[in-house]
Structure 1
Amino acid sequence: MSAVQYCFIEPLDVLFLRGNKLFGDPGSYGECLIPPWPSVAAGAIRSRMLVDAGIDLTEFGKGRVEHPALGTPDQPGSFTVAAFHLARRAGQRVEILTAPPADLVIDEQCNVSARAPQSAPTGLQSSSALPLLPVLAQGNKRSKAATGYWLTQSGWEAYLRGELPMAEQLVHSSKLWVFDARVGIGMSADTRSVEEGKLFSAQAIAMKKDVGFVAAVAGAEPPSAGLLRFGGDGRAASISRVDLKVAEPDYQSMVQAGRCRLVLTTPGLFADGWKLPGTDSANRVSLPGISARLACAAVPRAETISGWDLANWQPKPAQRVAPTGSVYWLDELEATPEALRKLAECGLWGTPCEDRARRAEGFNRVAIGAWS
């Protein structure tokens, strides 16, 4: 994979980050999806790149004009969103912020604990298809789980090392953004006038100062500065190049230990639902240069992604995905550090790629962490 370049995207207005739920009918409510799908960043950056190259967007959408890095809508080029994260800036430094993976539990006192793979006790039956269950062990003193917390970059790096993040490595969403409810009106498609009685509400996100997103772009030269149309309604956001330093996990130690964790950093489009690509009926996982056993998984309820196809002016097909933050424990690992590094760089895609358009949009990205 070509060198990755990081871009910081900072909203200049409220954002409408719409998910996959319909809204617009009288009395309906449109919720925001935070963080949005990586395809939101892919679309904004590619549109800006086409404009900078002086390419007619209509002709490109019809496949009559090809961009050197973007290709055409039907035959994507080398452009790929290699990572997409919520982020914040402090002076000249930008750090990524990550939602807690599915194996972490944070209580109201900001204590962090983790589910660990364990065999089911004798006599206990389960519908799990895997040999181990992700279990949260608690003592006599129990607490209620809290929501709305994010891992700072140092907390995320500690997590990938197999350590539990500390309280000071957490930040609450109330310090990052606030919701801003807006009222919309129904419009007639024929007359472009207001239709009586059609009022609906939509949720907008107002980011705090210096809070935005980081997109890593590979296979292309992204814009170095300027503006983007970002999210629903094309709200203004600035884009700038940044030097982001993310500590690389110790792949050599994982190879020596013979086990690791895979964590989805963007939604996973897998042919077998929640299961990793290359998993057979015996739960053996075969990926390029990697062989292992899928011992355990913590996968939240499936989500659905879609989107709007600007080239064909129609909705994209709705597809079920494994959510961001899903965790997979692999043991009996046979791999090299280079193979693990390549998996983290390229994502969970086959050769040839099953869906080049979704790969370019940044889906199926994964981080690899220690299983301690």
Structure 2
Amino acid sequence: MLIEPRDPLIVRDGRPFTNSPGARARSLPFPLPQTLAGAYRTRRALLEGLPLPERAEEVLRWGLRGPLLAEEGREGWRLLLPRPLDALKLGERVYPLRPLELPEGAGTNLPEGLRPVGLPSPSLKEKPAPLSAFWYWESFLEWILKDSPEGFSPEGHGGPTPEVRTHVALEGATQTAREGFLFQTSGLEFARGRSRLALVLWPEKELEGIFPLGGERRLAFWRKGGPGVPPLPEALVQGLVRSKAARILFLTPAFLEGAYLPKGGAFGGARVEAAVVGRPQAVSGWDLREGRPKPSRRAVPAGSVYFVRLPEAWGEGEIRAWAERIWFQNLSDEEQDRRDGFGLAALGVWDGTLWKWEGA
């Protein structure tokens, strides 16, 4: 399902926004899954005649996957995914970050059994160059199917364009501007040049129509269709069978019980060996059942990558079944977070070898 905002989308970052002169309402660079989950459930409940919050328990069981980003092309909508954080650009080349083997006598402050992650060569000392925040599916697929691709140059862009608008407060009686009461709102324009952008969702039931989304009840076009869930590549499965190791890449923020580690230190039986995790993302929101703000929590950001080892006893059948349970499924530890869209994941190959520590 596609959601295309008609006007710049405002998804507030949680900082206070008062009626004082000079106030600024800042937007997140991309909407959180719960924003789309809340809008979807509210709209579907209204269409089906379910009163809220009386039927909140039932409505909250409606799950979805996403949101991701899509761009309209000549042959339809193209899927874009968040940049994997195990990709680092130095100069003109993109290098993979991989788990490192500790030299004898060395130690870290990581949890027991967790490896550090780094570059393949101690001579790589350049300042990292920026990479596009969103990659087209074709570039993302190449990255996950090759453990260390040569000459890799991802195609993508920065996603929705930030837009800032300046407003003035009005006098209620005269409807004229109040002296000195200027304020700003920032939103996301879902366009890049002449290209249209949209949000992609995969809910249990698709909706159509023109409905509000985000702050100020700005309108968005909701329509069926758009990119489908990509099928699990057979080449990926065969790579996992050979190495009995994998990369798990989060496409939406995830909530994990151990802060940045899954419950029990494993994803469905695969043990975490190392991780490349971005800065935690603060998430709050509105509790539909209680009618009050939710407590703030920290999520693992989209793009984070986990290196995992599969059990040696697993054969091709078990590995294929595990891959199907992970591929484009929500992996957060709590069931409600999974229903809300947190922790959408993809898989990538990893040969399972540990690179030498720099200078070792």
TM-score range, shorter chain: 0.7 to 0.9
- Quick check: 1:367 aligned with 2:346? yes
Correspondence for 2:156: 171
- Given candidates 245, 250, 255, the residue that maps to 1:264 is 250
- The equivalent of 1:276 in structure 2 is 262
For residue 327 of structure 2, give the secondary structure of its aligned residue in structure 1.
Answer: helix
CA offsets per residue over residues 26-61 of structure 1, 9 Å max, x none? 5443322122101222222223222322x16xxx22
- Cα distance 1:371–1:142, how it changes in 2: closer, same or farther (>3 A)? same
Among candidates 318, 327, 331, match of residue 348 of structure 1: 331
Instruction: Measure the CA separation in 1 of the matches of 2:300 and 2:133.
Output: 21
Aligned residues: 334
Using the TM superposition, give the Cα deviation of residue 185 of structure 1 relative to its aligned residue in structure 2, in angstroms.
Answer: 6.0
Paired position in structure 2 for 1:68: none
> 8 Å contact 1:49–1:222 — kept in the other structure?
no
Give runs of aligned pairs for residues 234-273 of structure 1, distance below 5 A: 234-242=217-225, 244-245=227-228, 246-249=230-233, 250-273=236-259
Query: Contact 2:277/2:305 (CA < 8 Å) preserved in 1?
Result: yes
Q: Tell me how far 1:233 sits from its aligned partner.
A: 1.7
Quick one: structure 1 residues 114 and 31, their matched pair in 2 at CA, closer, same or farther if it must change by over 3 Å?
farther
Superposition pairs of residues 37-48 of structure 1, within 5 angstroms:
37-48=32-43
- Cα RMSD (Å): 3.1
Given that 1:61 and 1:73 are in contact with CA atoms closer than 8 Å, whether structure 2 keeps it comes out as: yes
Task: Give the conservation status (yes or no) of the 8 Å contact 2:33–2:67.
Answer: yes
The runs of 5 or more residues in structure 2 that have no matched partner are: 352-360
Shift of 1:295: 1.0
CA distance in 2, matches of 1:312, 1:185: 34
Q: Equivalent of 1:337, from 320, 329, 341?
A: 320
Structure 1 unpaired stretches of 5+: 1-6, 64-71, 280-284
Distance of 1:10 and 1:216 partners within structure 2: 15
> What amino acid sits opposite 2:98 in the alignment?
A
Q: 1:330 to 1:144 in 2, by over 3 A?
A: closer
Which residue identity lines up with residue 231 of structure 1 in the other structure?
G
Does the CA-based 8 Å contact 2:41-2:59 persist in structure 1?
no
Output the CA distance in 2 between the equivalents of 1:34 and 1:80. Answer: 23
Identity %: 23
TM-score for both structures, normalised by structure 1: 0.79
| Inter-CA distance 166–9: structure 2 relative to 1 (3 Å threshold) | farther
Q: Which amino acid aligns with 2:146?
A: G
Q: Is this contact kept in 1: 2:90–2:126, CA < 8 A?
A: no
* Structure 1 residue 216 displacement after superposition: 1.1
Amino acid at match of 1:157: L
State the shift of 1:205 in Å. Answer: 1.6
CA distance in 1, matches of 2:196, 2:157: 15
Tell me: CA distance 1:227–1:167, structure 2 relative to 1, closer, same or farther (3 Å). farther
CA contact (8 A) 1:157 1:247 kept: no
Q: Is 1:156 aligned to residue 140 of structure 2?
A: yes
After superposition, the C-alpha distances for 1:317-340 in whole angstroms (9 at most, x for unaligned) are 211111111111012434431122
Please state how far the C-alpha of 1:100 moved relative to its aligned partner.
Answer: 1.1
Distance 1:273 1:187 in 2: 45
